[in-house]
Structure 1
Amino acid sequence: MLPGCFSVQNVVPQPDGDSSKVKVKVRVNIHGIFSVSNASLIEKQKGEGEDMQIESEPMAQNEGREEEQTKMQVDHEGQSLGDQQNEDSTKEGVSGEKQDQSAGGSKPKVKVKSLDLPIVANNIRQLDSDVLINFVELERQMISQDKLVKEVNDAKNAVEEYVYDLREKLCGIYQKYISKEDSIRLTLMLDDTENWLYEDGEDQPKQVYEEKLDALKRFVQPIQERHRETENRPRAFEELGKKLQLYLKFVDSYKKKDVSFVHLNPEDVSTVEKCVTESMAWMNNKMNAQSKLAITQDPVVKVADIIAKIQELEDVCDPVINKPKPTVEEPPDVNDCGAHNGPTPKQEAEGKDTKPGMKEMEVD
C-alpha cells in the first residue's frame, strides 16, 4: 500500500543547462506516517570573493512545519555535490593561479544558492472496498489460525501438566491406594508420554493430545475414587449413625409414654422402629465387609450409597416424628350464653312502685 503521492514543484535546470540538484527531507512520525517535510533546489552561481557563500531563500509555504519525532533525511547527491564543489574550487583555483601568474587578475569563485521548493502532497486516506474486504477476510483467517494454535498448545500443555502432577501424587497421596503392579505400569505410561511429547508429539493435532490425556485419566480414575471414598466414607457413616441414634431415642421415648408423642399412631411408630433396625443392620454389614478389604481394592460401599440410605431413613421417620398434635376445641362458657333482651327483675320492681297519673317533681 502506498503512503501517498508527493510532488516537488518548480524544479528547473541550472542556468548553464546542467541538471539541478534537489535536496529532499522525509520523515516518519511515531505513528509510522511517512511525509516529505522539505525540498530545496541547489543553484550554482559564479562570482568573485574571498570565500564561497551559501544563501538560502525560504519560501512561505514551507515555513511552520511541525517537528516530527523520527526524522529520515534523504540527500540526493548531496555528497557528490560537495565533492564536485571541491573539485570545481580546486580547478578554478589552479586556473586562477595560472591567470594570476599570467595576467595578474582576480580568481573567480562559485556561489551556491538554496531555493525552497513547494511540495504538493496527495495522501491516500481510504482503501478500495475490494482491498478492504480482502484485508478483513485475511484478519479473520489469522484470528482463526491463532485460536487453533492456542487450542493445540493448551491441549499439549494439559497433557504435560497432568503427567507432572500425577507423578507427584503417585509418590504422595495415591501411593497407598495403588498396587505395586499398577504403580509400575502407570510409571511407565507417564515416562512414555513425557518422552513422546518432546519427540513425535512435538507437533500433533489437538485430538491426539486429548486422546493421550483421556487414556491416562481412565487408568487413574479407580485410584482417585479409592482415595476419595476412603477420605469421605468415615464421615458418611458417622452421619448415618447419628440419625439412627436420634430415631432410636424417639422410639424409646414413645414406649415410655412421653406426652410429646402420645398422639402418634402405634403402627407408624412400628414402621419407624423397623426402618431403623434394618438400616442399622445394613450399616454394620457394610462396615464389616469394608474392613476386610485392602485399601488398594475397590470399596464394597460408596459414599453415595450411604447418603442414599440416610435420605431413605429420613423419608420414613421424619414425617412420623414431626406429626403435629391434633387441636382440641374448648366447650363454650355457660355464663356467656342466653343474654336477656328485656328488663331485669329489679327494673320490673321499680316500674311497679310508680303510680299512674303521678307527675315528676320539679326541683328548682
Structure 2
Amino acid sequence: MRTKDATLCYGQGNIHPLIICHLNTSPVTKRTYCIEGRSKDGGEQIISSEERTTELLNTLENKGVTRYSRQHTLALYQLLLDLGIKYQTIESQLSEMPDLLSHPISKWQDTSGVMVEAGVDSVKILQSIALCPILLKVQPQELRQTIAKLRELKVGKLNLLTLATRYPVLLFHPPKLISQRIKNLGSIFPPSELSMLIRNNPSVLTDKWTTVIDKIMYIHKVMGLEQPQIASSRALQKSLLHIKTRHQFLYRAGLYKTPDLLRDKHSHRHNHKLSDIMDTSDALFANKVAHLTELEYQVFCNMIVEEEEDGSPYADSEDEIEDLKANYLKKYDR
C-alpha cells in the first residue's frame, strides 16, 4: 500500500484538562497518542455517551474548535465505545487531536472493522489511527490484504503486524520490500540481535537503504561500536546529524573514549550506553550524560550544522567508511 501522504503521520497537541492521559510519543513520527486515559479521581462509572459528548464539545469549544457537529462527534464517540475503548481514553485522544473528527464515520467503521477482523486490540486501533490518520483513507480491501501479508512476516518472535500498530507507516510500505530489507539487515545483524534492532528501530525497514547504512557505519567505524550496542538502542531512529552531534559533543569534551572491541570486548563500558547518548532529551543528555549545560549543547549543535555545510572536519576515516559503505550497498541494496 502506497500513498504520497504517508509522511503526514505526525503531530502534537494539548491534553484534556479533566482527564489524566498516559501518553506515549512515537520516536519516528513524533505524534503523541494516548496509551490509556483515566479520570483524576480514579473512579469507574456508567456513562452516557451523549453527556460525555457534550463535555467533549465544551472542551473543544474552550480551545476554539467549533467546526464539528454534535451528531458527528456523538457517532464517533459511540463507535469507539463500542470497540471497548474507555471513555477517558476517547476524550483524551479526541481532545489531543480534534482533527480526527474530520473524517467520515464510514471511514472509521471501515478501518476499525478491518483491524478488528485482524485481531488488533481496540486501544491499538485508536493508537494506530492517531499516529497515522491517513489509514482512514485506505480502501478496506487494500488494508485487509496488507495486514494479511504483514501477519506472515516474522523476525524471531516479533510479528510485523504487531510492530505496525505502533509504527503504522509499515502499512504503507510494500510487504515484499520489507521482507527484502529484513534479509539485508540479517546479513549484517545476527538473528539474536535482528529482532531487537527492528523492534527498537522500525524505521530501518522503511528508510532509504543508504540512510540506514550511513548511520550504521558512523556508529561502527567512528564510534567504535558493534551490532549488540546498536541493536539495543534506538539510535537508528535518529537522524545522522543527531548521531554525529551527540557523539562529537562528548568526544570533543574528552568524555567519549573510542572503544577497541577486538582487543577488549568490555571497552565500550568506559562510556555511557549508546541509548543514553542517543535516546535522551537534550536537557537530560547535556546535564546527566555530559554534565554540561543545555545551552552549551545548543551552541554546539549550531556549530555542527555549520561544519556539516562547510565539510565535516572530524571524519578522519571517511575514505574507509565510504569504501565499506559502498561494499554494503553493492552487496545488499535492492
Q: Report TM bin, short chain.
A: under 0.3
Structure having the higher helix fraction is 2
Structure having the higher strand fraction is 1
* TM-score (normalised: structure 2): 0.18
Higher Rg of the two aligned structures: 1
